[in-house]
Amino acid sequence: MTNEFDVDVVIVGAGLAGLTAAWELRRSRVRVLVLEARDRVGGRTWTEQGPGNTFIDHGGQYVGPTQTRILALAEEMGVTTFKTYGAEGDRHVSVQGRDDVSQVAIGPAIERFERMAAELPLEAPWTHPRAIEWDAQTVQSWLLAQVPDPLARALLRVIIRAVFTAEPDELSLLHLLTYIRGAGSITLLTQMDGAAQERRFHGGAQTVANRIAARLGTDAVRLGVPVRRIEQARTGALVEAGEITARCRRVIVAVPIPLAERITFAPALPGERAQLHQRISPGVTTKLHWVYPTAFWRADGHSGRALADDGYISVTFDNSCPDSDHGVLVGFVEADAARAFARLPAAERQRVALAEVVRVFGPRAADPIARYEQNWLEEEWTRGCYGGNFGPAGWTRYGAALRAPIGLIHWAGAETSPIWMNYMDGAVRSGERAAAEVLAALD
């Protein structure tokens, strides 16, 4: 039996972008219906309860003080934050088999990146006079030409993989510069105190999405209903999702950009928009957690932070929870390493990953009481994390289509935000922008 709805706005996707848009529209007494393919809300934020009052953030988790929109939304929802452990203690760095690598070596390259990024127009980086030149080359080709020290290049590659979950040869130089411009600096992207990894949410990042959905109510948020077709007409739009048919005045599509290809649009999207869906590529990430009776590494003077290029795991953090005596380590497997890691049998993945943790944190790391593995490439309704990346010529050819409405359809999602692109803050900003566009159109 078909469930028919007649609302003002249908929102496709119940991640932070879609739920933010719905919440903003509800404030203005706009009737909304959110349709989500998964059986949960939160999108690329997903929290699972772990042993000993721990919680496991399988997806996005960190926030920093300049990420003001996600912090404001969390405060409105009554979700508080705590400081990430890691500023205290030693940090293990191993690059090219050496553990004495200094970040001083990459200082000149960082300064050049930030000088170039500062020149970009925030809302339209593709209009910069050198945009075509910068967009025509990969980050890898720039590193080979501009960073003569092999050790410095190797350290930069590890950092770039950690930020983008992609290899330097997959990324346009303009994409990297656009990212830096939207965050403010490389320091804000990569550091803890005062930067993007400074804090986490009590109860996990998905708590924010859960509370928005609870306030919107089950009548407004429908789960397990993938949207298959969006038809536009002069009198409005028709959205079909399984047994749901919804008529509306406007539509906001707030799913990872490549997944929009699974939706049939009538009339078909303009070629430029369709090509955009094919040109922006999700990063590749597997996120691993190990839970221990205590955070034993702290007593050893270790912060829990590690950075390495000699195994599958490139980055680790102390992911312990403030209301638990248990200790939690998190490891990130990214880009080509994540692709290779996913090809291993499950038992072998657990073995080699744990061996790498033991190598850094000692023999007590060999006996976790719980393990978790989340491969976001295999997540049906995500197909990669943390967000989408442009390769060469992507921004200059398709950047102008990224946020432009198509008739009655508006676009949201962390990939579309000029500020903190691909972060939770970017998702919230994109939802606020899409809601503002819709309100202006409805008025």
Quick: pLDDT tens for 75-90: 999 999 999 999 888 9
Nearest to 255 by CA among 31, 10, 43: 43
Residue 2 is predicted with a pLDDT of 66
- Asked if the domains 3-44+206-269+406-442 and 47-63+83-88+194-198+282-378 are classified in one and the same CATH topology, the answer is no
Q: Which amino acid, residue 330?
A: V
3-state secondary structure of 308: strand
**CATH architecture of structural domain 105-190:** Orthogonal Bundle (1.10)
Query: What are 118's two structure tokens?
Result: 């500062």
Averaged pLDDT, 317-322: 98
Query: Does position 1 have pLDDT exceeding 50, yes or no?
Result: no
Residue pair 170/389 in contact by the 8 Å Cβ criterion: yes
pLDDT band for position 112 (cuts 50, 70, 90): very high
CB 155 within 8 A of CB 105: yes
List the CATH code of the domain at 47-63+83-88+194-198+282-378: 3.90.660.10
Q: What pLDDT does 101 receive?
A: 79
User: What are the residue ranges spanned by the domains of the chain?
Assistant: 3-44+206-269+406-442, 47-63+83-88+194-198+282-378, 105-190
How far, in Å, CA of 328 to CA of 323, rounded? 12
pLDDT higher than 60, residue 180: yes
Instruction: Report the share of the chain in percent with pLDDT over 90.
Output: 96
Mean pLDDT of the chain: 97
| Amino acid code (one letter) for 191 | Q
Q: pLDDT digits over 287-315, tens only?
A: 999 999 999 999 999 999 999 999 999 99
pTM of the predicted protein model: 0.97
106, HSE (Cβ side, Cα atoms, 13 Å): 21
Comparing CA positions, the residue from 383, 442, 340, 431 lying closest to residue 24 is 431
| CATH, domain range 3-44+206-269+406-442 | 3.50.50.60
Segment holding 75, helix H or strand E: helix 68-76
